[in-house]
Amino acid sequence: MRGSGTTWVLVDGENIDATLGTSIIGRRPQPEERPRWDRLMSFAARQWNQSSRGVFFINASQTIPQSFVQALKAMDYEVVLLSGAPDEKVVDIAIQRTLQALVGRDDDVMLVSHDGDFLDDVAALIGGDRRVGVVAFNEFRNAGYAALPGLHRFDLEYDAAVFDAQLPRLRVIPIDEFDPTTFLGA
């Protein structure tokens, strides 16, 4: 395939964090249970054999997580700090605007979110030579993404491998991948 452009990796961090803490772990994640965001950039670059540029959107209406921002910047993420009224979903608005701005470009896009608010904007990107993907926990990704032909779907833990610890997830295993030694022991 192409391999000579850029993959934009757009991260809805609060969506991933909320799903991880609330739906998967059931508590605030320990450091080893948090995503290694640098691995996500490496995954994107390897997946489509081209450079990747990460944009991490953060709601900074209340506070700025300085140490986290510095860590993201050290990994070459573009950090977008947003503010707005309490009833505004500033991260969603910014991601939607970014997806809309990418329609006029040839770059590939990976959205890191479960949120169905982006379905229309993601659908508008699909077609032609551009590759478009959604990276999320498969079982929590909005079902509308499955209906978008041509969309690449990646699992944050199993495909992108961004965690140091195995998460306590239940997953449907394709029979071709089933290995009983995973629960029987080696």
What rounded mean pLDDT belongs to the chain? 91
What are the pLDDT digits (tens) for 71-86?
Answer: 999 999 999 999 999 9
85, 101 contact by CB (below 8 A):
no
Give the separation between CA 173 and CA 161, rounded to whole angstroms: 17
Report if residue 76 sits inside a domain.
yes
Report if residue 47 sits inside a domain.
yes
Residue 4 — pLDDT band, cuts 50, 70, 90? Answer: low
Report if residue 1 sits inside a domain.
no
Report if residue 74 sits inside a domain.
yes
Q: How many CB atoms neighbour CB 121 within 10 A?
A: 19
Report if residue 160 sits inside a domain.
yes
Is residue 168 over pLDDT 70? yes
**Looking only at Cα atoms, what is the longest distance across the chain?**
54
User: Between residues 43 and 3, which one has the greater pLDDT?
Assistant: 43
- Structural domain tally of the chain? 1
Which pLDDT belongs to residue 103? 95
Q: pTM value?
A: 0.89
Is residue 2 over pLDDT 60? no
Report if residue 28 sits inside a domain.
yes
Q: At 101, phi and psi to the nearest 5? A: -70, -30
Print the domain residue range for 19.
Answer: 6-184
Segment 50-76 shows an average pLDDT of 94
Residue 164 — pLDDT band, cuts 50, 70, 90? Answer: confident
- The CATH number of residue 165's host domain is 3.40.50.1010
What are the pLDDT digits (tens) for 110-135?
Answer: 999 999 999 999 999 998 899 999 99
Report if residue 94 sits inside a domain.
yes
